[in-house]
Amino acid sequence: GENVEQHPSTLSVQEGDSAVIKCTYSDSASNYFPWYKQELGKGPQLIIDIRSNVGEKKDQRIAVTLNKTAKHFSLHITETQPEDSAVYFCAASNGNQFYFGTGTSLTVIP
Amino acid sequence: GAVVSQHPSWVICKSGTSVKIECRSLDFQATTMFWYRQFPKQSLMLMATSNEGSKATYEQGVEKDKFLINHASLTLSTLTVTSAHPEDSSFYICSARATLTGELFFGEGSRLTVL
């Protein structure tokens, strides 16, 4: 089955700096890679996703890159703000099941 | 963006009673919905996969007679925790996979406390 690994588990950055979270996957059949932001006491919120036919996708301060050959994908947040503080989960999907990373707790220090 | 409504958002019940949690996709159809349990500061633990019109598929170690799942329509799935015990206290989250796009959207979660 698919195995998704996510690093780092915790990340602290100064406000305005960039944050990068990395994930790897094992199943070459995975073709859809969403990222979720979860605030305390709430459900995860889809913030950006990328499909296997694309190498990079950007939405304002958030970008995701995908390297299919190496089987890894990354989330990049630029100009971080305190409200970016949350737990972020990556996921890999083959169209049926979704496999999640273990999460990264991001703290943006004002 | 697509909305998944989950309720109740929190519930307190006595040991031995049953609790039903609803998960609705408000503006899209979802042939498949998933139910998770999340412990503090941990990742999402998949409990079961629910497909519209068929029986749910449970993950290993999840008691299907205790966690009853029904997916009667393309927009509604329910999770019933039967004969709840304090160890069932947890944060339960549903998600719905949009049939047309394959995107996965989560509900807001339900905090269950069993006294």
Q: How far apart are CA B114 and CA B68, in angstroms?
A: 17
Do A94 and A27 touch, CB atoms closer than 8 A?
A: yes
pLDDT score of B1 more than 80:
no
| Mean predicted confidence (pLDDT) in B100-112 | 96
pLDDT of residue B80: 97
**With an 8 Å Cβ cutoff, are A41 and B93 in contact?**
no
pLDDT of residue B72: 84
Q: Which residue of A has its CA nearest to B101?
A: A95
Contacts of B42 in chain A (CB under 8 A): 102-103
Contacts of B93 in chain A (CB under 8 A): 43-44
DSSP letters, A72-99, are EEEEEE-S--GGG-EEEEEEEESSS-EE
Contacts of B4 in chain A (CB under 8 A): 43
pLDDT, tens digit, for every residue of A20-59?
A: 999 999 999 999 999 999 999 999 999 999 999 889 999 9
Contacts of B44 in chain A (CB under 8 A): 44, 89, 100
Closest CB from B4, B102, B109 relative to A95: B102
**The token pair that represents B109 in the structure block:** 């979660």
Q: Which residue of A has its CA nearest to B43?
A: A102
pLDDT of residue A1: 82
Do A68 and B81 touch, CB atoms closer than 8 A?
A: no
Closest approach of chain A CAs to the CA of B103, in angstroms? 8
Q: What is the dihedral of CA B99, A88, A65, A49, to 10 degrees?
A: 20
